[in-house]
Structure 1
Amino acid sequence: MRDTISMLSIRTRLSLGTSALLAIPFFVSPVQAQEAADAGGTQPSNEIIVTAQQRNERLQDVPIQIQALTGETLQNAGIRTSAEALSMTPNATFDQGNTYKSTFITMRGLTQINNADPPVAFVIDGVPQTDQTQLNVNLYDVERIEILKGPQGALYGRNAEGGAVNIVTRMPADRIEGFADVQYGNGRNFVGSAGVSGPLAGKDLLFRVDGSYSHFGGLIDNSYRGDKSDFIDHDWSLRGRLLARPASNLTVDLRAEYGEYRAASNYYSAVFSGDPNDFVDPQFNLPGFAYGHSLNLTAKVDLDLDFATVTSITGHTELTQNNRADLDFRNPVDSPSGIFGLGFQAGQGQDLDLKTTSQELRIVSNGDQALRWLAGGYYLHTSRDLRTRGFVDLDGDPAQIDNTALLFANKQEANSNNAYAAFAQVDYDILSSLTLTGGLRYDEDHRNQLDVVAAVRRRSSYNHLQPKVTLTYKPMTDVLVYATYSTGFRSGGYNAPSVAIGEFKAESLQNYEAGFKAQFANGLLTVNGAYYFENVKNYQYFYVDAASASQIIDTIDRVHIQGLELEVIARPLPGLDLSGAIGTTLSKIKEDAVAEDIGNRTPRTVPFSANMSAQYTWALTGDATALVRADWQHIGKKYWSADNAQVQNAYNLVNMRAGVEIGGLGLYGFVKNLTNDKYYTEFVPTKYSGLDVDLGYRGRPRTYGIEARVTF
């Protein structure tokens, strides 16, 4: 009965959402389309060029469902982080929880887990980011973001089961240019960024230097401590880039970025009711915070051989994060019995040290001939050291973690991983309107873990062959339909030493997808959509054992996931841009060792999500223009755990931004979460937390402020 009612609810929402989206095209009458074309208006995504398949292609010509956000779109929407960017994509969520830098990406039902690989390939300027602490990045001076939905294992390899996120920062310019952007809002929220670019030696040696800084006093009250639990003391980064052309067919692109931060962490609320719709403030006594730094180095070399381009991308990352937080998430006044009723409070801490080095070498055919191909190889070395401690909290001081007499959990592990891959893809135009694409990738991981405390070492290897086949038919220039069979793979690995489930299995899936892309009225109307079905084996999820301060990864034997996606983009009038999208993710546990979970939805599933945007720009006087934009995001019911016992109600986020631009100066006002909707970005029931109380991680309430931007 529950499934029947739920399915009817999904169908009702899908019908309403589809009706709303399909209403957009009726705004585009033939007369309006002609007027817009005569006025020079173009459809927002019409000319976007993406590199989703490692070559420059027009967005609408790629047989993949892609959300492409240009730097201009990010600026107009006030998007400042990758988390905000993904929230613009139905069937994708980007939640915060645990430490300051920890994030939980879920795409098409595949979800992020702590201390393990993400479910999507996350790439910045060609370099994969392999740890969840690397995924929520500050966006400034960005050329575009490409969000690819569905398995992309053939080209992106391991961890691209749910899709891929490709962030491309701006290239150095051949003339002096720059920008400065400052915004200030409630909660003493300050965000600033600036950059400059230009030539050092003509057009053969160019540079770009940019950076960002943020500070936030916080908006979420701690009812016991009387302070703000979500503060950011500082988070800054500085990036430099050098582009050299020593020969007409050779380009060398060097990039370095360094950043530091100190901010709030683990600000969970103790939810005594066990209801994920009971929104309460944090009440812990031991302050939670994290601090750390990161260094990223990238070297990209392109050699044009006329018939093909050879590309080498070398990346190196060093990252540290030290985290201190409460463990029982209560205080001695309101909960004098302490954790598990043992009469004492408890604290926790983790120290992470991560180093990665990657090397990719590929060759891509040039031109748009009937036969197009690419091939390459990839290597990744990861060193990940993690110390986890749980301690008796006597006085609320995080420094107690260093008192060995107070420790009741002390784990220290050294993990290393060597990953190898070889890949190839061929596109062949059987007819001028019919293209067959075949891709193949082989991934192999060699994992090694040392229990530093017990001096015990474990080793395992995981490998997988990932094929992909796509048939694309273009009956006319601006219309294509496609059918795809693709696969995905997420490596297995080890939990922390002494955890009951020592090793977790590799996850794999098969995806069947049919979709279309179409443009009408000289590109003023775009309609894209797809249906997908995924068969997942060893679906990975995690839970916590608070008593041993352990985060445990386990697997569900088999899961089926299916869904629909529909996107509509239109420019009915010059200056007016409308867009909307809906997505469904219907997951079902088919086989599992926990019999009562069979038939349930998978953890963190949102069966229905949608968004709509409207932006209008118009000329004022002289070179002055005005801009008004509104974005609406609907996040449907969220099933937090495999038993489906805790379900968070749907909520809506409304963001608005308006401003005036005069030449190179822009002044704006903005508000995010206008209706001040309450929600948790993570909810952990006692069954999965190992505690004696449920935990909720509060989402950010309404924020508002002003912004000034100068470009030259």
Structure 2
Amino acid sequence: METVTVTAQFREQELQEVPNSVVAFTAQDIEDAGIRSTEDFIALTPNLTFDDSFTYLNSFVVVRGVTQINNADSPVAIIVDGVPQNSQKQFKMPLFDVQQIEVLKGPQGSLYGRNAIGGAINIVTKQPTNEFEGFVAGGLSNGSGYRMDAGISGPVVKDQLLFRVSGSYYETGGLIKNTYLGRTVDDVDHDYSIRGKLAYTPNEVFSLDLRASYNDAQAGAAYDAVVNSTLNPDFRSGNNSNDVFEPRSSLAGVTKADITDLSGKATLDMGFATATYILGYTDLNEDYRSDLDFSNPTQPTFGPFGELGQGQNLSLQLMSQELRFVSPDTRAFRWIAGAYYLQTDRSLLTRGFLDLNGSLDQFENGVIIIDRGEDNDNTAWALFGQAEFDLSERATLQVGARYDEDQRNQNMPGAAGSGRSTTFDAFQPKVTLSYDITPDVLGYATYSTGFRSGGFNAPGVVLDSFGDEMLTNYELGLKSTFANGDGTFNIAAFASESDGFQFFFVDASTVSQIISNLDKVDMRGFDADVQYRLSDQITVTGGVGYTDSEIKSIGNAQLESYLTASGVDISKVIGSHSPKTTEWSFNLGAQYIKQVRSNLSAVFRVDYEYQGEKFWQIDNVDVRDPVNLVSLRASLEGERWSASIWGKNLLDEEYYADFNPSEYAGAPFDLGSQARPATYGVDLKYKF
């Protein structure tokens, strides 16, 4: 099997030598599995789930029971070509021209800092080359969808200045139908990206990499369906929210978004250490307009209030800098030291309006019933370090620590005296002891911590702020290679304790997205993955994850009072699973390669994913039944070309990608966002 090298700990290491729970996808894995989006590789990673709902850039990732929150910090640090992607809206992205994806589970605070409370995902795009090369790819899918990717790379000055330019385009008519409007609502009018890279290496000790990218998209938004209300008087979700209702709202939502990313990385070999400076800048804008009551004139849900609409304008600018020093890999004592700085400016306008004519323009010129603006900025900085000691030929001790400080400021535009400010900080230590039990078996024990900053909710909402979250994790792991290198088996058991667990809910009556804290949540479980090359033709991969989370205490009188008034039985919260948690996840894949003739191969791949019961909210009253997803891919591959047919969710499993019970939606109904049904298509690719 191919030896995989990762850079997850800021230095090159073989995957099986990293004392951490890491899953890696190489360029060949990405090609074979047809990975085109964030959701695709998460489906192949145990104890990691992805929920896609509301706006086009929106997503909720859950790792080992720790949940992503809308319009706030992610529980997973996302790194693209060394640059942190500090907005939750940057996680869902088209994956094209990608070299490798590395997924680290468990707190990574000592190296990655704030928001690596659940783990880190390191995405490396393909680098410029010293020889001219390129590719053109395209595909068709049901729902009148098509995709195009292309790229070219080569030298400007041989061996010194290299370039790479690549891009992607995607559109689809959609597959989820609104039964009232008689049209699909998950359509993508366009989603295009372009990325350019320059690599300058004038000598053996210095290099400079420059990167620029732009993404523009327009797509559907907020196609939730009303569940458990006067529209469906005989249905009660109870312990089964799998009876999927199609959307029937009178407004078809839309998202318009664009993201500009600029970054530079300079590297200098100083002998005693390699110095790396990374500068990143992001300008992100996302506007959405949609229904608010998710009904229509023939089936109202808010009674005398009539039809309602909603929308938000989000503008976000981020500028980050990092300077780190990494000692040579070959010494018995190895170290990393660095500093980090982040400046974030975020403005958000939220409006609710009376829907009098079915037009989304009413956000600007209609009857506005809720009008709330907020400006948020935060300044964060950190100092971090890590040291590794080879205690013997077999034993290594790794000690790391990081101090993060995050100052948050908020004000309402035009409202004198509305400004408020607070500061959160945390010290995040990590200790790992690893031991080579045999040349093919590595064991490790880890104590690690993670920190997610607190902040402010929108001004004037019922819970106007939320505290920080601190996670303490204890982990035992085993990484092994067997069958003379043809197989790997890795397993890690963890026990985590969260203080100030952050969770998210909606108050539709005030068009508010609210974050709050639970005092204590415990999480226990394990994840394991296996890869075995049975022969030159057949490879089997698989993974299993288990997370048993338990809410130990709420510890927030204001939150308890609000939830009680909303109809939540507080007695059911204690002892329940954390929100959006899936206890069991399982994936199994098999790939068969048949040499048809010289320079022509047939590749067949099947993947099965099992997602166990999903607990939508903190009282666990609404639970999604297990989901079984099957994907197939068959390809013919020549030396320079490939042709594939593929299918995803081929059992056409009907389920909700997101579900918000009425008690946590601030409205007299539950909301369910339907997952995409079976999708299938063909892909073509030519390399030159």
Equivalent runs, 1:155-174 vs 2, <5 Å: 155-174=111-130
* Alignment of 1:653 onto 2:629: yes
Match of 2:566 in 1: none
Distance 1:377 1:632 in 2: 43
Alpha-carbon distance in structure 1 between the residues aligned to 2:497 and 2:685: 47
Q: CA deviation at 1:86?
A: 1.2
For residues 590 and 668 of structure 1, the distance between their equivalents in structure 2, rounded to whole angstroms, comes to 49
2:197 paired with 1:241:
yes
- Cα offset for 1:575? 2.2
Q: Which residue of 2 aligns with 1:85?
A: 41
Structure 1 position 367, deviation (Å): 2.8
Offset, 1:451: 1.2
Q: 2: CA distance between counterparts of 1:649 and 1:181? A: 38
- Separation of aligned partners in 1, 2:489 and 2:524: 21
Preserved CA contact (<8 Å) 1:661 1:667 = yes
User: 1:616 aligned to 2:592?
Assistant: yes
Residue number among 445, 449, 453 corresponding to 2:410 in the alignment: 449
Aligned to 1:25: none
Tell me whether 1:311 sits opposite 2:272 in the alignment: no
**Deviation at residue 422 of structure 1 after TM alignment:** 0.5
1:552-701 aligned within 5 A = 552-593=514-555, 594=560, 595-596=570-571, 597-701=573-677
Q: Which residue of 2 aligns with 1:55?
A: 11
Q: Distance in 1 between matches of 2:322 and 2:599?
A: 46
Residue correspondence of structure 1 range 421-440 to structure 2 within 5 A: 421-440=382-401
Aligned residues: 664
Query: Mapping of 1:385-464 within 5 angstroms?
Result: 385-403=347-365, 406-455=367-416, 456-464=418-426
The aligned residue for residue 328 of structure 1 is 293
Structural RMSD (CA): 1.0
Contact kept in structure 2, 1:657 and 1:668, CA below 8 Å: yes
Query: CA offset at residue 454 of structure 1?
Result: 2.8
Q: Give 1:623 shift.
A: 1.0
- Cα distance in 1 for residues equivalent to 2:46 and 2:483: 26
What is the TM-score with the length of structure 1 in the denominator? 0.92
Question: Which residue of 421, 443, 447 maps to 1:485?
Answer: 447
Deviation of residue 249 (structure 1)? 0.8
Residues 255-266 of structure 1 aligned to structure 2 (within 5 Å)? 255-266=211-222
Residue 364 of structure 1 aligns with an amino acid whose one-letter code is V
Counterparts of 1:83-162 in structure 2, within 5 Å, are 83-162=39-118
Alignment of 1:468-479 (within 5 A): 468-479=430-441
Where in structure 1 do 4 or more consecutive aligned residues deviate above 4 Å? none
Aligned partner of 2:644: which letter?
Y
Aligned position for 1:7: none
Residue in 2 aligned with 1:351? 313
Q: Does 1:300 align with 2:265?
A: yes
| Counterpart residue number, 2:429 | 467
- Does the CA contact (< 8 Å) of 1:678 and 1:699 recur in 2? yes
SS of 2:509's partner is helix
Q: Is the 8 A contact 2:442 2:479 kept in 1?
A: yes
- TM-fit CA distance, 1:674: 0.8
Matched, 1:75 2:31: yes
Amino acid at match of 1:605: T
Which residue identity lines up with residue 145 of structure 2 in the other structure?
N
CA distance in 2, matches of 1:260, 1:479: 46
Cα distance, 1:520–1:289 mapped onto 2, change above 3 Å: same
Q: Partner amino acid for 1:117?
A: D
Query: What SS is found at the alignment partner of 1:133?
Result: helix
Structure with the largest fraction of helix: 1
Q: State the distance in 2 between where 1:363 and 1:81 align.
A: 33
Equivalent pair of 2:660/2:670 in contact (CA under 8 Å): yes
Amino acid at match of 2:356: L
Q: CA deviation at 1:622?
A: 1.9
Cα distance in 1 for residues equivalent to 2:654 and 2:26: 30
The CA deviation at 1:343 is 4.2
Tell me the equivalent position of 1:213.
169
1:224 and 2:189 matched: no
- Letter in structure 1 aligned against 2:537: G
Task: Tell me, in whole angstroms, the C-alpha distance in 2 between the residues paired with 1:617 and 1:453.
Answer: 65
Q: Give the C-alpha shift of residue 82 in structure 1.
A: 1.2
On the 8 A contact 1:316/1:356 being kept in 2, the answer is yes
Deviation, structure 1 residue 342: 1.9
1:84-112 superposed Cα distances (whole Å, 9 cap, x missing partner): 11121111011111211011011010001
Does residue 225 of structure 2 align to residue 269 of structure 1?
yes
Mapped partners of 1:453, 1:697: distance in 2:
36
Q: 3-state DSSP class of the match of 1:73?
A: helix
Q: CA deviation at 1:694?
A: 0.6
Aligned-residue offset at 1:539: 0.4
Distance, in Å, in 1 between the alignment partners of 2:13 and 2:304 is 62
The aligned residue for residue 278 of structure 1 is 243
Letter in 2 for 1:261: A
Whether the aligned pair in 2 keeps the contact of 1:207 and 1:240 (CA below 8 Å) is: yes
Q: In 1, Cα distance between the equivalents of 2:638 and 2:472?
A: 52
Match of 2:567 in 1: none
- Of residues 565-574 and 228-237 in structure 1, the stretch that sits farther from structure 2 once superposed is 565-574
Superposed CA offset, 1:627-684 (max 9, x none)? 0001111000000000100000001111100011122011110011110111111100
The question of whether the paired residues in 2 share the 8 Å contact of 1:412 and 1:453 is answered with no
User: Residue by residue, what CA displacement relative to the aligned partner does 1:533-585 show, whole Å, maximum 9, x if unpaired?
Assistant: 00100100011111111111111110000001121110011121101110001
1:383 corresponds to which of 345, 359, 380: 345
Distance 2:81 2:451 in 1: 23
| Matched-pair identity in % | 44
Query: For residues 389 and 31 of structure 2, what CA distance do their matches in structure 1 show?
Result: 38
Shift in Å, 1:502: 1.3
Scaled by the length of structure 2, the TM-score of the pair is 0.95
2:280 partner amino acid: G
Gaps of 5+ in 1: 1-42
Preserved contact between residue 271 and residue 278 of structure 1 (Cα < 8 Å): no
Indicate conservation of the 8 Å contact 2:46/2:528, yes or no: no
Q: 1:523 Cα deviation (Å)?
A: 1.0
| SS of residue paired to 1:472 | strand
CA distance in 1, matches of 2:143, 2:78: 31
Report the Cα distance in structure 2 between the residues aligned to 1:67 and 1:617, rounded to whole angstroms.
23
Task: Please report how far the alpha carbon of residue 306 of structure 1 lies from its aligned counterpart in structure 2 after TM superposition.
Answer: 2.3
Instruction: Provide closer, same or farther for how the CA distance between residues 282 and 258 of structure 1 changes in structure 2, counting only shifts above 3 A.
Output: same
Q: Which letter maps to 1:432? A: E
Contact 2:274 2:328 in 1 (8 A): yes
> SS of the residue aligned with 1:342?
helix
Task: State the 1:360 CA deviation.
Answer: 0.4
Deviation at 1:379, TM superposition (A): 0.2
Tell me, yes or no, if the aligned pair for 2:11 and 2:329 is still in contact at 8 Å: no
Distance 1:624 1:246 in 2: 40
Q: 1:371 aligns with which of 326, 333, 336?
A: 333
